[in-house]
């Protein structure tokens, strides 16, 4: 007789994300672990007088979702700031900013979500903000997260004027006649000239933001995230929640590298990993922003932009310093997490990984990742596989959003645009791939709900689905592949696949119960599916039954 389980779910479809046995009829949970996965009849031995038994008929049980590239604290702060995502006009943005400024007593007006395509090539002007908020600094990041719009008060506070040089890897947009900063800053080296001079959000705000995020994430079936650009401030928040016993998910973290520092920063990053690591917090990787994004013409391309024939984009890092820092971290056993959007930036990242591999004489168990990979050529797909580098992609981007039509298509032209987001080709070539959201820095669909991303990945259309045809329909992939990307593949990318990521007896009971079977559901309805139950290590962190 088996010891009774705490929970049994039987009668529906159990998608395990475990290739030897991808589908089952029932599972049992005992304590923190899955104790049984298999047929409906076999689970009966696990049912005792105190076992909760849930009917799975018409429902789907899957591993809990794992988002392998997200900014949870930064994104959640936006819920108490000015959210411009979804505003389709300049006037609408300004009205929302003015209303927010009038309603809040905060000494800095912060926000996110303005769309590059609403403004000209030089971006929005500080004068628009000066007219509605001249007395407090205003700092608003673009929807893609790689540009900031600031007012004159913020520029003065930071000491930026026409004599301020562009920082390495960034650009200060300037008035073509006077040379004065216009109020648009491109890429983090330039954005931080202002951001670093503003009073930061206080600790209470950061903790409150993360607590709200965890509640919302649990409703989406999320049991783990990979913080994509962690500094010590974020690690302190995660450690405090961990010590309080308040974490309702695992936290992986990619520690942000400094392009102005050399290989010696490896010591600091390793010290942070040792100081903040715990059973639930895993700061195992290092993050390097190698280039920018297509929307702001800062992604680093092998050929010039179609609408700027003298410009190929921006390398945030000096190339030799990038290679040196990557090599030093690789030698010390640190996994690298590289932001690379343009085809030339991707090639540089792979060149550096290849050189690091030659120095140590092989793969040596590294789990390096390249995130985004928007313009990825076929030869570099093959190099990803050869070098055992993980591709980290965002399926919620895989449709023709407003930025595609307004900015990306004019920027790179139709021939290159037809090579964006080729997930099916990538998988067909055997590249290890995980999936993520990059929330809140995304395209027209700013979401961390994996079910919404899965719908877009299946349909290659927006959630509304009003487009005449899908975007590159030949790149659609199957439902199982998308679920795997958000579960077992992301667990592998975070070095957690032996403990979680699939519904396998003995692994942690990280589980999501969905209200309907996605495999029997029209793809255009998947994003509206409700998560009924989320278990994190056997504990219900969300319940709607």
Is 336:368 a contact under the CB 8 Å cutoff?
A: yes
Report CA dihedral (536, 538, 541, 545) to the nearest 10 degrees. 130
| Backbone φ, ψ for residue 15 (5° rounding) | -95, 115
CA–CA distance, 37 with 260 (Å, rounded to integer): 51
Q: Give the pLDDT band of residue 411 (cuts 50, 70, 90).
A: very high
**Mean pLDDT along residues 217-228:** 98
User: Mean of the pLDDT values across residues 304-327?
Assistant: 96
Q: What are phi and psi of 171, to 5 degrees?
A: -145, 135
In the predicted model, is pLDDT for residue 80 greater than 90? no
Q: Whole-angstrom Cα distance, residue 302 to residue 342? A: 8
Section 240-254 average pLDDT: 97
Structure tokens at 66: 């794992």
pTM over 0.85: yes
Using the predicted structure, report yes or no on whether residue 420 has a pLDDT greater than 90. Answer: yes
Q: Please tell me whether residue 192 adopts helix, strand or coil conformation.
A: helix
Residue 121: how many CB atoms within 10 A of its CB? 14
State the Cα torsion 449-204-269-339 to the nearest 10°: 30
Asked if the model's pLDDT at residue 363 lies above 70, the reply is no
pLDDT per position as a tens digit, 23-62: 999 999 999 999 999 999 999 999 999 999 999 999 999 9
Phi and psi angles of residue 530, each rounded to the nearest 5 degrees, phi first: -95, 140
Q: Is the pLDDT of residue 189 over 90?
A: no
The mean pLDDT of 158-180, rounded to a whole number, is: 92
In angstroms, rounded to a whole number, what is the distance separating the alpha carbons of residues 515 and 497? Answer: 26
Give the CA dihedral 48, 50, 56, 62, nearest 10 degrees. -100
DSSP lists the bridge partners of residue 527 as none
Residues making up the chain, counted from first to last: 545
Domain locations in the chain as residue ranges: 7-64+506-543, 108-195
CATH architecture of 108-195: Roll (3.10)
Cβ distance 34 to 6 under 8 Å? no
Q: If you average pLDDT over residues 16-23, what whole number do you get?
A: 95
- Return the closest-CA partner of residue 484 out of 117, 16, 105: 16
Q: What percent of the chain has pLDDT over 90?
A: 83
Q: Kindly state the helix (H) or strand (E) to which residue 234 belongs, with its residue range.
A: helix 232-244
pLDDT value of residue 441: 85
Token representation of residue 123? 């971006």
Give the pLDDT confidence score for residue 146 in this predicted structure: 84
**Residue 444: predicted pLDDT:** 65
Contact present, 150 and 138 (Cβ < 8 Å): yes
Given this model, what pLDDT does residue 143 score? 81
Which are the contacts of 34, defined by CB distance < 8 A and separation ≥ 6? 27, 28, 503, 504, 505, 506, 507, 508, 509, 511
108-195 matches 7-64+506-543 in CATH topology: no
50/28 Cα distance (integer angstroms)? 13
Helix, strand, or coil (residue 69): strand
Average pLDDT over all residues of the chain: 94
457 phi/psi in degrees, rounded to 5:
-60, -35
In the predicted structure, residue 69 carries a pLDDT above the cut 80: yes
Fold of 7-64+506-543: Urease, subunit C; domain 1 (2.30.40)
């Amino acid at each position: 007789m088996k010891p009774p389980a705490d929970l049994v779910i039987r009668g529906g479809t159990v998608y395990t994300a475990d290739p030897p046995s991808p589908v089952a009829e029932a599972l049992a949970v005992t304590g923190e672990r899955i104790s049984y996965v298999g047929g409906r009849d076999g689970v009966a031995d696990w049912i005792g007088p105190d076992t909760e038994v849930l009917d799975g008929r018409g429902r789907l049980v899957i591993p809990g979702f794992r988002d392998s590239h997200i900014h949870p604290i930064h994104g959640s702060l936006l819920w108490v700031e000015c959210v411009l995502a979804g505003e389709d006009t300049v006037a609408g943005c300004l009205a929302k900013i003015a209303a927010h400024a009038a309603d809040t007593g905060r000494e800095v007006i912060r926000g996110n979500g303005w769309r590059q395509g609403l403004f000209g090539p030089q971006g929005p002007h500080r004068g628009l903000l000066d007219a509605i908020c001249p007395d407090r600094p205003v700092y608003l990041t673009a929807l893609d997260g790689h540009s900031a719009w600031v007012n004159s008060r913020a520029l003065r506070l930071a000491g930026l004027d026409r004599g301020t040089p562009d920082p390495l890897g960034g650009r200060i947009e300037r008035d073509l006649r006077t040379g004065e900063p216009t109020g648009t800053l491109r890429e983090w080296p330039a954005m931080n000239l202002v951001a670093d001079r503003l009073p930061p959000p206080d600790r209470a705000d950061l903790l409150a933001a993360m607590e709200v995020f965890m509640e919302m994430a649990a409703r989406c079936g999320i049991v783990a995230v990979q913080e994509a650009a962690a500094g010590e401030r974020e690690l302190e928040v995660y450690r405090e929640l961990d010590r309080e016993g308040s974490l309702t998910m695992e936290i992986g973290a990619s520690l942000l590298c400094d392009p102005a520092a050399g290989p010696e920063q490896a010591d600091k990053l390793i010290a942070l990993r040792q100081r903040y690591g715990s059973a639930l917090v895993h700061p195992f990787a290092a993050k390097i922003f190698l280039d920018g994004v297509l929307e702001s013409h800062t992604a680093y391309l092998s050929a010039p932009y179609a609408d700027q024939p003298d410009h190929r984009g921006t390398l945030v890092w000096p190339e030799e310093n990038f290679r040196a820092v990557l090599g030093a971290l690789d030698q010390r056993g640190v996994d690298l997490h590289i932001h690379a959007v343009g085809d030339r930036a991707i090639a540089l990242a792979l060149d550096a990984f290849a050189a690091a591999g030659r120095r140590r004489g092989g793969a040596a168990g590294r789990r390096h990742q390249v995130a985004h990979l928007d313009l990825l050529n076929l030869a570099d797909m093959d190099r990803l596989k050869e070098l055992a580098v993980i591709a980290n992609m965002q399926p919620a981007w895989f449709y023709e959003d407003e930025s595609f039509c307004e900015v990306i298509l004019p920027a790179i032209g139709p021939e290159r645009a037809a090579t964006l987001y080729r997930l099916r080709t990538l998988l067909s070539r055997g590249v290890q791939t995980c999936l993520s959201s990059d929330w809140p820095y995304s395209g027209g669909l700013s979401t961390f709900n994996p079910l919404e991303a899965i719908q877009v990945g299946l349909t290659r259309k927006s959630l509304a689905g009003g487009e005449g045809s899908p975007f590159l329909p030949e790149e659609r992939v199957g439902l199982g592949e998308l679920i795997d990307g958000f579960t077992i593949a992301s667990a592998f990318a975070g070095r957690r696949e032996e403990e979680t990521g699939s519904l396998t007896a003995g692994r942690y009971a990280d589980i999501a119960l969905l209200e309907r079977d996605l495999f029997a559901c029209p793809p255009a309805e998947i994003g509206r599916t409700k998560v009924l139950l989320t278990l994190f290590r056997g504990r219900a962190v969300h319940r709607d039954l």
